[in-house]
């Protein structure tokens, strides 16, 4: 166990302070825009597939004023099991993220820690969520951040929502990051970050060199403690900032 922790610590160090600073900076900048109270922002609220406005994440008819996070719509699973619909394959899957989204951060971090950079590609959308949700930066904008630019998978696509509608023309949910996309079957595998990182934990191990197979981010004997910690950190910290931001 100590060797596993040591290896994980080494890999975390390799991420570098510069990367962490960049992620934090993008998050802070995006937050200042997202919670803007300007009149122009109020007039340009993003609509989801069901015409719900981004400012209506809190149900105005709910007397509690509580922020209630919706369920992720795509909950498929990459699996090493024989006959799995989504088997682990090098170059098959593509991750859509935003450097302004902490939920997306953890998928990038797990991808790095497990040595999946050559197996799973990624694109970062523009850090600012606009009228139509997350959009892809143009090459001319020269937005900082690795792989922040036009979508390399869908030529000409300007917004993430277009990919969702391409997969399901009747889609009624939100167009969220991270989104894990299957290039072979042209569909979305998952848009639930907690499940994406768990796929990354083990399902690609057969494709990895030994040094990364040994990186165990969810060891059996610690799972109970991890789940208990996840419960309170999610409710009180990770989701807590949204509860504060949308408090009435």
Q: Which residues are catalytic?
A: 101
In sequence order, the 6+-apart residues with CB closer than 8 A to the CB of 163 are 96, 151, 154, 157, 179, 181, 188
């Amino acid at each position: 166990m100590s060797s596993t922790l040591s290896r994980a610590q080494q890999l975390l160090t390799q991420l570098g302070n510069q990367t962490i600073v960049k992620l934090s900076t993008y998050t802070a900048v995006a937050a200042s825009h997202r919670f803007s109270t300007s009149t122009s922002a109020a007039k340009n609220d993003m609509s989801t597939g069901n015409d719900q406005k981004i400012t209506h994440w809190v149900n105005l008819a709910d007397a509690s004023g509580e922020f209630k996070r919706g369920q992720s719509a795509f909950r498929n699973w990459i699996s090493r099991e024989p006959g799995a619909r989504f088997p682990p394959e090098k170059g098959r899957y593509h991750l859509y993220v935003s450097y302004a989204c902490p939920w997306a951060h953890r998928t990038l971090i797990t991808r790095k820690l497990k040595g999946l950079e050559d197996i799973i590609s990624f694109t970062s959308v523009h850090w600012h969520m606009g009228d139509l949700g997350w959009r892809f930066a143009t090459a001319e904008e020269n937005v900082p951040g690795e792989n922040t630019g036009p979508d390399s998978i869908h030529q000409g696509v300007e917004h993430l929502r277009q990919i969702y509608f391409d997969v399901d023309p009747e889609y009624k949910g939100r167009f969220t990051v991270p989104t894990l996309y299957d290039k072979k079957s042209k569909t979305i595998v998952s848009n639930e970050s907690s499940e994406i990182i768990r796929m990354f934990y083990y399902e690609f191990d057969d494709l990895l060199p030994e040094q990364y197979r040994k990186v165990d981010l969810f060891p059996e004997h610690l799972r109970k403690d991890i789940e208990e910690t996840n419960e309170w950190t999610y409710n009180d910290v990770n989701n807590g900032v949204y509860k504060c931001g949308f408090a009435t």
